[in-house]
Amino acid sequence: MSQAPARGSTEYEEKFEYEHLAIDWPEMLITIDDRPVHLTPLEFRLLAMLVRRRGWVVTYEQALTEVWGPSYVADRANLKLYIWYLRRKIERDPSHPELIITRRGMGYIFGSRAAAAA
């Protein structure tokens, strides 16, 4: 199970903001354009993992191992389904994502518009 960022961590602040998304780490609250969004615990762990590695490609295997555990490393269909759930909840236009970008054949990257054009 993924842990919340440690207080005083240089990796995180207590709040994270990017575009229209805001995360309150201690409260595990997500807002989109200042409106609360409900995420399941698994969706929250997946989003937190992507945000922690923002700007870097997270491979399918890395995401599956960290969020679901090593026994799920071959279950890409489940990962793709949960990415779709997340996009429906946090993207302005889920069919043209700006926050969670797919890198075909590799995995996903959070917060890199340049990656979308690559």
Predicted pLDDT at 74: 76
| Residues 40, 76, 17, 5, CA torsion sign | positive
The answer to the question of residue 58 being in a domain is: yes
- Work out whether strand 107-110 and strand 100-103 pair parallel, antiparallel, or are unpaired: antiparallel
Number of domains comprising the chain: 1
Give the residue, 71 or 60, on which the prediction is more confident. Answer: 60
Q: What is the mean pLDDT of residues 19-38?
A: 93
Residue 4 within any structural domain of the chain: no
Instruction: Residue 105: give the domain boundaries.
Output: 15-117
What tens digit of pLDDT does each residue of 78-115 get? 999 999 999 999 999 999 999 999 999 999 999 865 44
Supply the pTM of this predicted model: 0.82
* 5: in domain: no
- For residue 30, tell me if it sits in a domain: yes
Is 7 part of a structural domain of the chain? no
Per the document, the length of the chain is 118
pLDDT tens digits for range 52-70:
999 999 999 999 999 998 8
Contact 47, 39 (CB under 8 A): yes
Distance of CA 29 to the CA centre of its chain: 14
The reply to whether 8 falls in a domain is no
The dihedral formed by the CA atoms of 92, 93, 99 and 103, expressed in degrees to the nearest 10? 180
CATH of the domain at 65: 1.10.10.10
